[in-house]
Amino acid sequence: MKRASTTHLAAGSAFVRAGAAARASEDAPPLTVRLRIHPAALAFVTGFPGVIGLLAVAASLGRSVPDEGARPLGIGLLVVAALLLVLGVRSRLVVTPDAVTVRFFGLRSTTVRFAAIATATFSMTFPSISYAITFTDSRGKKAIVHANWWRREGSAMVPIFRAIVERQVAFDRTTARIVAQVLGVKRPPATIVHHALFRKKRTW
């Protein structure tokens, strides 16, 4: 992985608040942590289609001759914004001593037990445009935790990372780097190596 690559830059900024929280707090985390999406992040996601939709509807209503194209577009965008708002409010990240549960702008939650996690990998997950760590268990079930979206995310990420380090979960290089920078420990060994699709000798 090149030093100037997008993935490298994303890894350097992922879960930064989690690392700061881990170094600043000396208290043991609670047995169960329940987090919601940060209001600013939710406002960003819902605000863009909401504002465009309002402008389109207002422009349509302000014309002497109604714009038949702008009005349905605006209404559609307002519906999208409302849907994202509902899904965002219902999103959650729950960490117990035994498992992590995630619902991120979805209808259903996914729970993965720490004892069953086989791999932890860092990437951008479709359709999201933000990076996340994917925790995959031995049966293929995946809990995807997006970086820098959650309120007080340090209270969740610190126990997650400690649990997977203790269980010697397989990491890729980027996840290992993030775990080290959040926990403030020596980088754990990376046992997963990604190869480029067309340049097989290039790894990250």
Q: In whole angstroms, give the CA distance from residue 200 to residue 172.
A: 16
Residues 136 and 119 in one domain: yes
| CA of residue 25 relative to chain centroid, distance | 23
Residues 147 and 100 in one domain: yes
Within a domain: residue 79? yes
Q: Show the domain range for 131.
A: 6-37+92-183
Task: Note the pLDDT of residue 57.
Answer: 87
Task: Note the pLDDT of residue 154.
Answer: 87
- The answer to whether 189 and 170 are in contact (CB under 8 A) is no
- pTM for the whole structure: 0.83
The number of folded domains in the chain is 2
Q: In whole angstroms, give the CA distance from residue 70 to residue 56.
A: 5
Task: Note the pLDDT of residue 90.
Answer: 96
Residues 77 and 169 in one domain: no
Within a domain: residue 165? yes
Q: In whole angstroms, give the CA distance from residue 197 to residue 156.
A: 34
Task: Note the pLDDT of residue 25.
Answer: 57
Residues 151 and 102 in one domain: yes
Counting as low any pLDDT under 70, the low residues of the chain are: 1-5, 19-30, 62-68, 193-204
